[in-house]
Structure 1
Amino acid sequence: YKIIWLISDYRTKEITNQMKNHKTLLRVCALVLAALIFSGCSAVISNPVVAQVGDVEITYSQFYNLYETYASYGMIDTSSSDKIKEAHATIFDQLINSTLPVAVAHQQGITLTEEEKAAAMESVATTMDSYLKQYLDESIADETARTEAAIQAFNKAYKSNGITYETVKAEVEQAHIDDALGKKIADQVKATVPSATDAEAKTWYDEQIKTEQEKYAEDATAYYYDNQYYTYSGAVKPLVAPEGLFYVKHILIKTEEGEAQAEGDETLEVSDSMSFADPETTAKAILEKVNAGEDFDALIAQYGEDTGMTAEPAKTQGYVIGEGFDGVYDKAFYDAAMELKETGDTSGLVKGSYGYHIIRRVGDVSADPIPYEDVKEEILTYLNNKNQADAYNAALEQWKSEITVETYEKRVSYVGLS
């Protein structure tokens, strides 16, 4: 068995890249890895192989770390023993899919060029420096001596685990090599896929408009959620909006109750930039400024405590709202916004779950489809990515029929149950 509890899973990065638009998860996995490295897991010394993909081993720590990452962010259901078993299958699938390209490269004798290997090694030094950071003694003036002392301190801290700095470094280097090999194989597959044509993009555009019109006619809030998805994940923006939606902006003055409420909510993001002893008095003073004709956007920037109002596209457009959005927004906010009938209409002081709002209607959402030329490049990029992903997934299935895959479920059967 490899003695590598600390290292585990640089392949997590490649795995999460294969998932649908979980961009932030790449940073999450790096944080999880760092936490595990320095968490002092002295109870686990051996790191058994839990799966074999061709000549590539998948270890317990790779499985455990990916499971913990997915569980922490609600990407798997761990509510019962049966659900945990299903989660185990999901984790195995992800690990196997990420390892298959490496096994294929080994089988086909594909290696990295010196340039590719050098590129893979570029971040190793940075990674290893981050592992040593907490052991650096700044009182040692000489940089070489300071690093050597940190390595000795690291080795001492993990001696009982049978782990050394050099062991960790070797595993990190191998993980980067494997990632680069996997990417090389994946890129070869994707390179065989022809680029999407303008005609294909236009056909997709026409069909998508019809799909969205039907979808949003049934549920206008789906437009809101699709916009949110686009804002955070990319792909293609919604091409058409349902009738009757409009934009609002607001100035939020938080209360203590509102701050607590906002901690678990993603719609209104409360900043920590200001703190008022008497929020109601402050809100009334701001309302007087609004009624006196002061610039609303400037007042948002100066006093508003919803950070969502400072980020695009809401900073420029405002929040989308309309009939049926009562499940999207705080009820008091929604009710007050729906009373604003014309662009420029402004509410009085509105007390909601988050604090005091001053809300202004700032424009209507056009129900006309976005012109094709405005979204053509987005659509072409989306289609190219989709076609490449489809080809790669087909290749994965083909490789599974060609590469021997063994899993040892019993070795991870207790993960998530303790």
Structure 2
Amino acid sequence: MKHLKKILALLLALTLLLSLGACKKKEGTGDDADPGSTVADDTVVAKVNDQTITYGEYIDVLNSYLQNYGLTDAYLDQFLGDQANDFRDSIMNELVSQKVILEQSKALELDTLTEEEQADVKEQVDGYFSSIKESIKAEVEEELEADESLELDVDEEVEKRFNDFIEQSGYTEEYVTQVYTESAILSKVYASIVDPVTVTDEEVKAHYDELLAEQQKNAEEDLDTAVSDYFASDALNVYVPSGFRYVKHILIKIPDEQYTEINTLRADDEEAADELYEQELEKLKPKAEEVLAKVKAGEDFDKLIEEYGEDPGMTTEPNKSQGYAVYTNASLVQEFKDAALALDKVGDTTELVASSYGYHIIKFVSEPTVGPIAFETVKSTVSDNLLNSKKVELWNATVTEWREGMTVEIHTDLFHSEAADSE
């Protein structure tokens, strides 16, 4: 289930994208947002009561999701196939939900801001435009530094480019203020619904017991997956599975320039890449063997990491104190992982282990204490998780109820792909 803050952030981000997209279309060239579409930007593709969503507004938000992958709506079908229209629907439903919430804000009498809230909006708007000017100024100063023959008054040039940005984008102060105002209204509506939600100690303990039973069962049935889940970035762990260990290593690294050259070469000439790789390993070997001899002589491994290690991760938290967690599905180079998992007992070290990065000397540092994590240790985290879950559940149910009480029209034929529908 999504974290509460992530959902609110999504709603606010959609408000920003939709509103700024709308203002851009009002001021823009009139060209279609998607060059492959025959639907005009101002075509209404959905309505919530009397509020409309245009194709231009929709495609702006859709493309904002896709731009991180270098995609546009025109290329969505070939990547998602018959699920492409499901993705389009999810974007449209988010936009409709936004309109529903803004409509409901009137009935809740939360559609206007207090003087304090307006002042906060003004501060955000001022901050937005200040950041734009700072970026432009940095750009101008960089150009002047690169070409000393340029004769520019920095302040005048920044103001000129800033005004050009406003004119071309349509991001006027009036419209940006509208964006942040709507965001503030969304926040107020959201808080009015979920702030009263609470959880009791009994509910938290029951949630802990449920998580514990589930995680223990998963560890018994599929240990590799259970360990991967344990290290997931959003994991709420109440049980420690077996199947992993912590290691530290001393890396004698292939220089960055040669490392890049090897990887670039490998795309076209595997044999030449292997030859260059072996040459670089040979150069590193005397130093690596010197360090290995010190390890075998019993010198302090942590001090040797500080003196010889070239992996920055080994000198930062949490790796500095604990080391790397190694398990079957860990995102580590295979040679490193195989050697680390082959060590027999805590304290053992490897011989030289070659990988694409250079030579590693790995030490088995510790194993986890397998079993339940004490309730009191994780009580606060479990409580937050349960509270957020209850808030999200209530919020989703409430928005659904509001939506069912409004007149909602969605014209899927205007933004669906026939190719995706036919698959």
What range is the shorter-chain TM-score in?
Answer: 0.7 to 0.9
Q: Which letter does structure 1 place at the counterpart of 2:326?
A: I
* Alignment pair present for 1:178 and 2:167: no
- What is the CA-CA distance between 1:405 and the residue it aligns to? 2.4
| C-alpha distance in 1 between matches for 2:316 and 2:362 | 17
In structure 1, the residue matched to 2:275 is none
| C-alpha distance in 1 between matches for 2:307 and 2:49 | 60
| C-alpha distance in 2 between matches for 1:177 and 1:93 | 22
Q: Which letter does structure 2 place at the counterpart of 1:154?
A: F
| C-alpha distance in 2 between matches for 1:308 and 1:62 | 43
Task: List 4+ stretches of structure 1 deviating above 6 A.
Answer: 74-77, 258-262, 414-417
Match for residue 386 of structure 1 among 384, 389, 398: 389
- What is the CA-CA distance between 1:81 and the residue it aligns to? 4.7
In structure 1, the residue matched to 2:132 is 131
Contact 2:335-2:353 within 8 A present in 1 as well? yes
Q: Which letter does structure 2 place at the counterpart of 1:17?
A: K
* Alignment pair present for 1:17 and 2:6: yes
* Alignment pair present for 1:106 and 2:106: yes
Change (3 A) 1:80 1:366: closer
Contact 1:239-1:369 within 8 A present in 2 as well? yes
Please give the per-residue CA displacement for 1:109-141, whole angstroms capped at 9, x wherever unaligned.
Answer: 422211112222322122223334465466547
RMSD: 4.0
Q: Which letter does structure 2 place at the counterpart of 1:341?
A: D
* Alignment pair present for 1:149 and 2:138: no
| C-alpha distance in 2 between matches for 1:211 and 1:179 | 38
In structure 2, the residue matched to 1:93 is 93
In structure 2, the residue matched to 1:364 is 367
- What is the CA-CA distance between 1:281 and the residue it aligns to? 4.1
* Alignment pair present for 1:67 and 2:62: yes
Q: Which letter does structure 1 place at the counterpart of 2:103?
A: A
| C-alpha distance in 2 between matches for 1:379 and 1:15 | 14
Change (3 A) 1:352 1:318: same
| C-alpha distance in 1 between matches for 2:176 and 2:419 | 26
Contact 2:4-2:392 within 8 A present in 1 as well? no
- TM normalised by structure 1 equals 0.73
Deviates more, 1:129-138 or 1:353-362: 129-138
Structure number with the higher helix fraction is 2
Change (3 A) 1:392 1:300: farther
- What is the CA-CA distance between 1:357 and the residue it aligns to? 1.7
Match for residue 401 of structure 1 among 391, 401, 404: 404
| C-alpha distance in 2 between matches for 1:192 and 1:326 | 42
| C-alpha distance in 2 between matches for 1:309 and 1:53 | 54
- What is the CA-CA distance between 1:204 and the residue it aligns to? 1.6
| C-alpha distance in 2 between matches for 1:78 and 1:16 | 32
Identity of aligned residues (%): 31
| C-alpha distance in 2 between matches for 1:260 and 1:389 | 49
Q: Which letter does structure 2 place at the counterpart of 1:105?
A: S
Uncovered stretches (5+) of structure 1, i.e. residues with no partner: 1-13, 263-274
Please give the per-residue CA displacement for 1:31-56, whole angstroms capped at 9, x wherever unaligned.
Answer: xx99xx9xxx9683774244333444
Q: Which has the larger radius of gyration?
A: 2
Contact 1:340-1:346 within 8 A present in 2 as well? yes
- What is the CA-CA distance between 1:84 and the residue it aligns to? 1.9
Please give the residue correspondences for 1:202-281 in structure 2 after superposition, counting only pairs within 5 Å: 202-229=205-232, 232-233=233-234, 236=236, 238-255=237-254, 256=258, 278-281=283-286
| C-alpha distance in 2 between matches for 1:71 and 1:153 | 27
Please give the per-residue CA displacement for 1:237-272, whole angstroms capped at 9, x wherever unaligned.
Answer: x2222235321122334445589779xxxxxxxxxx
Contact 1:245-1:365 within 8 A present in 2 as well? yes
Q: Which has the higher contact order (CA 8 A, sep 6+)?
A: 2
Partner of 1:196: helix, strand, or coil? coil
- What is the CA-CA distance between 1:72 and the residue it aligns to? 4.9
In structure 2, the residue matched to 1:52 is 47
Change (3 A) 1:66 1:364: same
In structure 1, the residue matched to 2:376 is 373
In structure 2, the residue matched to 1:333 is 336
In structure 1, the residue matched to 2:145 is none
Partner of 2:344: helix, strand, or coil? coil
| C-alpha distance in 1 between matches for 2:79 and 2:88 | 13
Partner of 2:248: helix, strand, or coil? strand
